[in-house]
Amino acid sequence: MAQTGKRIRSAREGIEVTKLYPLTEAVKLIKERAKAKFDETFEVSMNLGVDPRHADQMVRGVCNLPNGSGRTVRVAVFARGPKADEARAAGADIVGAEDLLETIQGGTIDFDRCIATPDMMPLVGRLGKVLGPRGLMPNPKVGTVTMDVKGAVAGAKGGSVEFRVEKAGIVHAGIGKVSFDEQKIVENIRAFADAVAKAKPAGAKGTYIQRIAVSSTMGPGVKVDPSSVLVAAGA
């Protein structure tokens, strides 16, 4: 425990708790302090001026990261016939219909993203209580209920990330790995912020994106000046 405390204190040295850092400087600080023995995930958190308890203030969407997420994503697809073949050709890890339903109902969920063609939703709907709490339920709003199976699988494999605001008005995501070049991380963060900005709900009042912070899996958080992130987001 003492060693862990020492490591954390060392990582926090040089970071001013109340300071808002320019994005490029914040990214550099996080990368310099990522000392874990594995390639840590680079994470971004945003406090939004919304109350997701109201339907007109829910924020949800998907962002295609320009430089990928660095994660290996296993994709399951509910489809039949030519669309099933299309999913397999696109690189889907699991493809099926009733057989996939039975597998999931049996307790085996060996995937990170679930995609379905519209005609399969009556079947997939029976898994709502299983997939919903895990954030795996296909949804047309984030492009996982679609006839463009090839594009959806390619996006998931290529580094698209889904986001959904939590009860406290916070949205967060892993947008890369600390091993990424600083510029690639900066580009991914700006793309993510832009996607969140474009998902601004009609019921949002006042300042929409209020605070932004970045961190690595095992490292300290650094507060970021929103104006250095929202270059093109217009939030």
What average pLDDT score do residues 2-8 get? 56
pLDDT at 13 over 80: no
Domain match, 183 and 222 both: yes
Same-domain check for residues 79 and 153: yes
64/47 same-domain check: yes
- Does one domain contain both 152 and 166? no
8-state DSSP, 99: H
CATH classification of the domain holding 42: 3.30.190.20
Alpha carbon 185 to its chain centroid, in Å, reads: 14
How many domains does one find in the chain? Answer: 2
Q: With respect to residue 61, please indicate whether it lies within any of the assigned structural domains.
A: yes
Asked whether residue 138 is domain-assigned, the answer is yes
Alpha carbon separation from 183 to 31, 39, 86 (Å, rounded): 12, 17, 34
* pTM of this structure: 0.79
- How far apart are alpha carbons 91 and 72 in whole angstroms? 12
Residue with tokens 């006042």: 206
User: What pLDDT is stored for residue 184 in this prediction?
Assistant: 96
- Pair 90, 164 in one domain: no
Selection from 231, 86, 193, 217 nearest residue 146 by Cα: 86
pLDDT greater at residue 119 or residue 2: 119
Residue 65 domain boundaries: 19-69+160-228
> Does residue 85 fall inside a structural domain?
yes
pLDDT for position 1: 41
* Euclidean distance between CA atoms 24 and 41, whole angstroms: 17
Average pLDDT over residues 174-200: 95
Residue 206 lies in a domain: yes
Q: Given this model, what pLDDT does residue 23 score?
A: 96
pLDDT band at 233 (very low <50, low <70, confident <90, very high): very low
Last residue of a domain, one of 157, 192, 214: 157
